[in-house]
Structure 1
Amino acid sequence: MVTDCGPSFTKCFLTLLNFVFFFSSSAILILGCWLYSHKESFMTLTQLGLENQHVQLPTEVAKTIQEINQPLALEQLAHGLLYLGGFVFLVSMVGYCGASKESRFLLVLYSLFLTVIIGSQIFLIGITCAYRYEVERSTKSLLRSSLENHFSVGEKPNAVSLAWNFVMAEFQCCGVDNYTDFQRSRTFLDTRSSHQMLPPACCILNQEQYPPYFEPEDSNCLTAPTSYNSFFLKGCYDKLFTRILAHLNPVLITIICLVTLELLAIIFALCLSKAVDRDLRIQEHEKRNKNRKKKKKTMAPPPKEVCQSPPAYVSQPSEHVSFLPVASAPEVLPSVPPPSYFKYGN
């Protein structure tokens, strides 16, 4: 466990940050599961809350929620919430467990996740700046595709239709370029009434009923649009692009703050991982030293041998040395007088 001031601060920061995202993503997942499995109960509860004023909301917000409260729109919203909540839940869970449990593997994995996210953001920003005109054409093509394949009119609109209706009503525009975009929309042509040329959101709406209802002031707008009763010649793409440029500074500040927060999380995760590795090495070293000291204490001294050998000054015969037997004293012969000299003759 880290005990220094710096690693302890990084641990607290990562734990708190990921706990906030973990709690938020859990709420998003629960809401997405509820909408996906029991959207009827959600619709009923929302309707009762708005009618009985159990939840005090502004009038425009309440009307907007009432308009969005449609089965198909809620089902598509549930898919988006599940995807977003699942991804944020996974990343935040890895970061929270890695910081709280001081797991080097989870901290490194968390850093890799954030690195991929930051790399994707920088890549998209770079592509947008380098290939601005190509991005504009691709964006226009994507918007037209959403109109041609998903936009419909009727009592139960989907999420794409609701989004387009609110954009056209708020920005007072019609289609991507103009109303002719709806003439190529297969889903619009299948769900429109006879001789209808454009959706009601392209008309000048009755302000007493909008939001949430899209009721044109002139009933002839749907079949005979003019510049006096509709915005059929004004495209939404240019107005959207102008609005984005007008609010570019807040968008850039938000992106910079988000990237800065992600970079801080990566740096803190790597620093905490390094501190955990250092503490583990110190603990292993101390454990080895304790084991060595313990072994030295438990080892008994060698027993003292009783000296049975004779003193050093007594010489010991060697086993390999053989001694000659001691000769006995010679016998003493009786004294014999020396021989006399014989004289032979004179």
Structure 2
Amino acid sequence: MKTCGMSAIKYILFIFNLIFAISGVAIIAAGGIVLADVGEFNHFMDGKILAPAVVLIVAGAIVFIIAFLGCYGAIKENYVLLLAFAGALLIIFIIELAVGIAAAVFRNSFSDVMKESLRYSMNNYTKSQADKVAWDDVQMKLKCCGIDSAKDWIEAGVLDASVLPYSCCRGAEENTQCLESNAEVYTEGCYMELKLRVENNARVLIGVGIGIAFVEVAGIVLACCLAMAVKKEGEK
């Protein structure tokens, strides 16, 4: 006969997995938001900032699938399925914890890499269509100019004296001239705008990755408790 404790764990685990399935969708959404927000500027970024988001999306999909495994194992009171569920949760826990830590570490070390990437790309503005498109895109979308300011374009000597890319001027269209003296020139540099965006998204990755990872610990404990209860019941 089933014990009350075993029945309680069974239904708690079942409810937990329904919530867990929803959390899988939340993980996918968080990863998607980060990719959508910074992915369009990946020309200037090391792949490290996008990799955690991709891993998080994959982990979210796996979490969603695993949640149904846990539900089935709990309802059927299958010892092997419950242990498999606990093991899968442990693996996902480690992956998400690693993603959170990686995002935290990279948040503090990406600055120099990004600034160097911006500087290198700026020097190729007139030589590479990809660099030109990337710079015009980031300057128009983030309403910024240069790395730290518009003076970076002048100091780099990329264009003629006092001439800036058209995207440095507010409301300018391609093939129109944008001069440093123009009142419509964006005053903020693109480096700080990109840095702020990356840091905000890193916080999302850290919060979701680590937050949900620790919730999974409860699922591992519940699954193991129910598995042990099922084993003891079967030995009677």
**Which position in structure 2 is the counterpart of 1:109?**
84
Residues of 2 paired with 1:185 and 1:12: CA distance?
Answer: 61
Give the superposed CA RMSD: 4.9
Structure 2 length-normalised TM: 0.54
1:235 and 2:191 are equivalent in the alignment: yes
> 1:98 and 2:73 equivalent?
yes
Residues 1:203 and 2:178 aligned together: no
- SS at structure 2 position matched to 1:19: helix
Partner of 2:216, secondary structure, is helix
Q: Which residue of 1 aligns with 2:3?
A: 4
In 1, Cα distance between equivalents of 2:22 and 2:97 = 27
| Contact 1:18-1:92 at 8 Å conserved across structures | yes
User: Which residue among 216, 222, 230 is the counterpart of 1:262?
Assistant: 216
Task: Name 2:43's counterpart in structure 1.
Answer: none
Superposition pairs of residues 1-346 of structure 1, within 5 angstroms: 3-22=2-21, 83=58, 86-125=61-100, 132=105, 136-137=109-110, 141=113, 181=121, 184=124, 189-190=129-130, 198-199=136-137, 200-203=140-143, 217-219=170-172, 224=178, 226=180, 228=183, 229-231=185-187, 233-236=189-192, 237-240=194-197, 243=200, 257-282=211-236
More helix by share: 2
Q: Deviations over 1:246-296 (max 9, x none)?
A: xx6x987655542332111000000000000111111xxxxxxxxxxxxxx
Distance in 2, Cα, partners of 1:225 & 1:232: 16
Higher relative contact order by CA 8 Å / sep ≥ 6: 1 or 2?
Answer: 2
- The sequence identity of aligned pairs, in percent, is 17
- Whether the aligned pair in 2 keeps the contact of 1:202 and 1:231 (CA below 8 Å) is no
SS at match of 2:64: helix
Normalised by the length of structure 1, the TM-score is 0.39
Which secondary structure state, in structure 2, belongs to the residue aligned with residue 218 of structure 1? coil
Tell me the distance in 2 between the aligned counterparts of 1:108 and 1:184.
56
The offset of 1:122, in angstroms, is 3.6
- What is the rounded CA distance, in whole Å, between the counterparts of 1:120 and 1:23 in structure 2? 18
- Given that 2:21 and 2:67 are in contact with CA atoms closer than 8 Å, whether structure 1 keeps it comes out as yes
C-alpha deviation, 1:86, in angstroms: 3.9
State the number of aligned residues: 183
One-letter code aligned to 1:273: A
Amino acid at match of 1:16: I
* Structure 1: segments with no counterpart, 5+ residues: 30-63, 65-79, 145-174, 205-213, 283-346
Contact 1:22 1:93 in 2 (8 A): yes
- In structure 1, how many angstroms separate the alpha carbons of the residues matched to 2:103 and 2:57? 28
Alpha-carbon spacing, 1:104–1:280, altered in 2? closer, same or farther (3 Å): same
Does the Cα contact within 8 Å between 1:179 and 1:198 map onto a contact in 2? no
SS at match of 2:190: coil
- CA deviations 1:115-158 (Å, max 9, x no partner) are 112223344555667xx479724x875xx6xxxxxxxxxxxxxx
> Is the CA contact 2:66–2:88 (under 8 Å) kept in the aligned structure 1?
yes
Mapped to 2, the partners of 1:90 and 1:176 lie a distance apart of 41
CA distance in 1, matches of 2:131, 2:198: 29
Query: 1:24 & 1:83 partners in 2: Cα distance?
Result: 13
The Cα shift of 1:112 comes to 0.8
The one-letter code matched in structure 2 to 1:198 is: D
Q: Equivalents in 2 of 1:82, 1:255: separation in Å?
A: 11
Asked if the contact 2:125–2:131 (Cα under 8 Å) also holds between the matched residues in 1, the reply is: no
User: SS at the partner of 2:81?
Assistant: helix
Long gaps (5+) in structure 2: 29-35, 37-53, 145-166
**Kept in 1: contact 2:13–2:219 (CA 8 A):** yes
CA contact (8 A) 1:179 1:232 kept: no
Name the aligned partner's letter for residue 109 of structure 2: E
